[in-house]
Amino acid sequence: MVAAAEGPQSIAPFFNPKSVAVIGASSKQKKIGYVIAKNFIESFQGKLFLVNPTVQEILSHKCYPSISSVPDDVDLAVIAVPAKSVAEVLKECGEKGVRAVVIISSGFRESSEDGAKMEEELLNLARKYRLRMMGPNCMGVFDSTTMVDTLFIPRYRLKRAPRGKIAFISQSGASGIAFLDWAAGERIGISKFASYGNATDVDEADLLDFLATDKETKVIAMYLEGIKEGRKFARIAREVTKEKPVIVLKTGATEAGAKAALSHTGSLSGTDEIFNAVVKQTGMIRVSDWEEMFDIARALAYQPAARGNRVAVITNGGGAGVMIADEMEKQGIKLVELGEKTVARLKEKFPPHVTLRNPMDLGGDADNERFREAISAVIDDEAVDSLLLVCIPHTPSIDLESFVDMVVDTKGKNEKPVVVCLPGGRVSLEVRELFEENGIPTYPTPARAALSLSALVKYGKLKNSDQAIKN
């Protein structure tokens, strides 16, 4: 299929429109058209036009009987009317010169053959009028800067995530919501979100292409069940990963999953081997769960990519050090020998039971000062590219608040990424939050910390090889 209008900038009006029309805005609180209208009224800074032929106003906002009767230009129209009326409305949008439409309505290809025919008609209209169309059957867009918010879940049920550097695009609406809610709960910043539903016009590749140019976005995360156009996707993904890391959660990996995906979004998910080949070739990072996706996205959003694969581990719990060594090796990353100077510098200062190897076990009696000496020496060590810190926070010798300050002070030093493992479930949540607020990605288990640091190493490797090609 050829898109109705080409180029990543044709996607911009979805996220950054000067004026928005909500077609199918409703005054009934339970209606999707009410929730969307309310979102825009509450937060959108641009011009807003509500369209509904049967009411005069909604939440004290004037209603227009049709998009044609709106007295101004409209960049983005959000369509939430019954399936059978969508084509007519879309035609009107075309006549009006609307540049982008989000079609929330469902009842198309995902429902029936008749629906598929109606969907084909929508695509023809979009092409004819050279407008871009997201959906149908989607949640649409959330932009934490412009506050475009077509999510039809009320904000009291789905808190919106704070502003941040991670963009997320999702084929599945429900997975998209779960992701957003997680981000809101964990206070992880999101730049842009899009759930693009049936991908009739705008698909995952278009969004990726656009997000590569977006200044608010440092990391792109995607949830996919299938890919519409494999070659286009691979070509664009290869280009995008040169600019920013792309994390992909692709389901339908197994036979059972592929069957389930077919009945869920009608996606032909293809074989997993092919997709893994695409992942490798494009330099994307594949994950198998939301938790992994968040863990890695946070690391890539907060920290620089590692310049090389030489990882050092400092811990006050030997067991955690062993787990991290295991996990790193599984990821194909070896723990390096520390530089001679580092060992000599620390040997002088530390008691004999401290293990001056890698992982460096500072001992259960390590205090902040011992950590500070070790971190400082390792960050100065030219044989080391990145640092994973494990702090078992329960020993009385650790003062947690100043520990956070001390680690935050290392941020960006020698451009070496730092990741922290702070075990202890909910009890450690507050301290983990302090770290996160200051840009230090922090994890409750050694495996999750190791996986996240390994993503910084792998993305660094990709960047370096791209750099080498450029020079």
Q: Which range binds a second copy by CB under 8 A, 17-25, 121-129, 359-367, 409-417?
A: 359-367
Q: List the Cα angle 356/360/362 in 5-degree steps.
A: 90
Using CB under 8 A as the binding rule, whether residue 316 contacts a second copy is answered as yes
Single out the residue of 395, 414, 438, 464 in contact with a second copy (rule: CB under 8 A): 395
Single out the residue of 26, 52, 150, 265 in contact with a second copy (rule: CB under 8 A): 265
| CB-nearer residue toward a second copy: 94 or 115 | 115
Tracing tokens 């197994």 back to the chain, one arrives at: 254
Least separation in angstroms between CB 253 and a second copy? 5
Sheet holding 285-287, edge to edge: 140-143, 190-195, 163-170, 219-224, 246-250, 285-287
Q: Which of residues 339-358 bind a second copy (CB under 8 A)?
A: 353, 355, 357
Sheet holding 47-51, edge to edge: 57-58, 61-64, 47-51, 19-23, 76-79, 100-103, 132-134
Least separation in angstroms between CB 370 and a second copy? 15
Tracing tokens 């990145």 back to the chain, one arrives at: 386
Max Cα–Cα distance, the chain, nearest Å: 82
**β-strand pairing of 246-250 with 311-315:** unpaired
Q: Which of residues 286-305 bind a second copy (CB under 8 A)?
A: 288-291
Using CB under 8 A as the binding rule, whether residue 322 contacts a second copy is answered as yes
Using CB under 8 A as the binding rule, whether residue 308 contacts a second copy is answered as no
Single out the residue of 150, 170, 342, 452 in contact with a second copy (rule: CB under 8 A): 170
Strand, coil or helix: 76: strand
Least separation in angstroms between CB 21 and a second copy? 24
From 359, 241, 245, select the one nearest 298 (Cα to Cα): 245
Single out the residue of 48, 182, 229, 308 in contact with a second copy (rule: CB under 8 A): 182
| CB-nearer residue toward a second copy: 242 or 394 | 394
Using CB under 8 A as the binding rule, whether residue 234 contacts a second copy is answered as no
Euclidean distance between CA atoms 99 and 133, whole angstroms: 9
From 245, 233, 354, select the one nearest 301 (Cα to Cα): 245
Using CB under 8 A as the binding rule, whether residue 279 contacts a second copy is answered as no
Q: Are 240 and 186 in contact (CB under 8 A)?
A: no
Using CB under 8 A as the binding rule, whether residue 361 contacts a second copy is answered as yes
Euclidean distance between CA atoms 268 and 288, whole angstroms: 19
Euclidean distance between CA atoms 241 and 313, whole angstroms: 28
Single out the residue of 65, 82, 97, 154 in contact with a second copy (rule: CB under 8 A): 154
Single out the residue of 1, 55, 174, 268 in contact with a second copy (rule: CB under 8 A): 174
Least separation in angstroms between CB 215 and a second copy? 27
List all residues 6 or more positions away from 276 whose beta carbon is below 8 Å from its beta carbon.
286
Single out the residue of 178, 279, 383, 408 in contact with a second copy (rule: CB under 8 A): 178
Using CB under 8 A as the binding rule, whether residue 24 contacts a second copy is answered as no
Q: Which of residues 120-149 bind a second copy (CB under 8 A)?
A: none
Per-residue binding letters, 426-445, with a second copy (x by CB under 8 A): xxxx--------------xx
Using CB under 8 A as the binding rule, whether residue 185 contacts a second copy is answered as yes
Using CB under 8 A as the binding rule, whether residue 27 contacts a second copy is answered as no
Q: Which range binds a second copy by CB under 8 A, 8-16, 45-53, 299-307, 323-331?
A: 323-331
Instruction: Give the phi and the psi of residue 387 in degrees, each rounded to 5.
Output: -135, 130
Least separation in angstroms between CB 197 and a second copy? 12
Q: Which range binds a second copy by CB under 8 A, 41-49, 88-96, 262-270, 367-375?
A: 262-270
Q: Are 86 and 176 in contact (CB under 8 A)?
A: no
Which residue type does 58 have? I
Q: Are 420 and 449 in contact (CB under 8 A)?
A: yes
Q: Which of residues 364-393 bind a second copy (CB under 8 A)?
A: 364, 392
| CB-nearer residue toward a second copy: 241 or 315 | 315
Q: Which of residues 67-126 bind a second copy (CB under 8 A)?
A: 111
| CB-nearer residue toward a second copy: 131 or 457 | 457
| Cα dihedral across residues 36, 221, 236, 286: positive or negative | negative
Q: Are 189 and 212 in contact (CB under 8 A)?
A: no
| CB-nearer residue toward a second copy: 261 or 301 | 261
Q: Are 100 and 65 in contact (CB under 8 A)?
A: no
